Copies of this chain bind each other. A is one copy, B any other.
Amino acid sequence: MLIGCGLSAVPVRVNKMLALTKKTDYALIALSYLAKRVEGVMSARELATASRVPLPILTNILKALARAGMVVGERGSAGGYCLAKPAESISLHELITAIEGPVHFVQCVSAGPDAHRNPCELQSCCSIRQPAHRIHDRLKEFLESVTLAELVDDPTVSVGLHLVHREPVPLRQTPVREFVR
């Protein structure tokens, strides 16, 4: 979100601050399949047939995930993809950043560690800057608290919609291969 910081004379580059689109959706599905795979790699083709995500799109997404360091791709005839780290360490925030771009709630928050040195020009008339920063932090915290492990954690019981509310269930440690490389 720009929150009054994008109203200056100079045109702003960032229009979208947070989005969950089909792409992120596909990515989550692919990651969930990789998380369930306890050993070895899974090729994009395998993943596509298993998840029913169109192969060409899936390959693009996997490339992006690899670039972001969330999965590791191995080339060659026996190649494929596997998670680059345990599912507990892969957050929704990381995924959105990789697929959709960096998450902003306020634009002033965005660029690098010295962003506070270069706040928006409209600071004087942007009276909600500070609270917006706090909300941004809360949003980021939330997105970081949602992990892939949580998504793969399948109850397998209680198919009905009674609100079991199994919130405090400790996250199961998914068996993960060694991350050599």
Knowing A52-B122, A127-B154, A154-B130, say if A1 contacts B19 (CB, 8 Å): no
Q: Which of A138-181 contact B (CB under 8 A)?
A: 138-139, 142, 146, 150-155, 159, 161, 166-167
A24, A116, A122, A131: residue with the most chain B Cβ atoms closer than 10 Å: A131
Q: Does A80 contact B (CB under 8 A)?
A: no
Closest to A147 in B: B135
Judge whether A105 and B20 touch: CB under 8 Å. Answer: yes
Q: Which of A64-92 contact B (CB under 8 A)?
A: 92
A29, A36, A125, A161: residue with the most chain B Cβ atoms closer than 10 Å: A29
Point out the residues of chain B lying under 8 angstroms from A16, CB to CB.
19-21
**Which one, B18, B128, B167, contacts A152 given CB within 8 A?**
B128
Judge whether A20 and B22 touch: CB under 8 Å. Answer: no
- Copy count, this protein chain: 2
Judge whether B122 and A150 touch: CB under 8 Å. Answer: no
Task: Show the binding face of A for B, using Cβ within 8 Å.
Answer: 1-4, 6-7, 15-22, 24-25, 28-29, 32, 36, 51-53, 92, 105, 116, 122, 125, 127-128, 130-132, 134-135, 138-139, 142, 146, 150-155, 159, 161, 166-167
Contacts beyond the supplied A3-B28, A4-B52, A139-B146: 11 A-B pairs with Cβ under 8 Å:
A1-B24, A2-B22, A2-B25, A3-B29, A16-B19, A127-B154, A130-B154, A131-B151, A131-B153, A134-B150, A138-B146
Nearest first, the 10 closest Cβ-Cβ pairs linking A and B are A18-B20, A19-B19, A7-B52, A17-B20, A116-B161, A2-B25, A131-B151, A142-B142, A1-B25, A32-B128
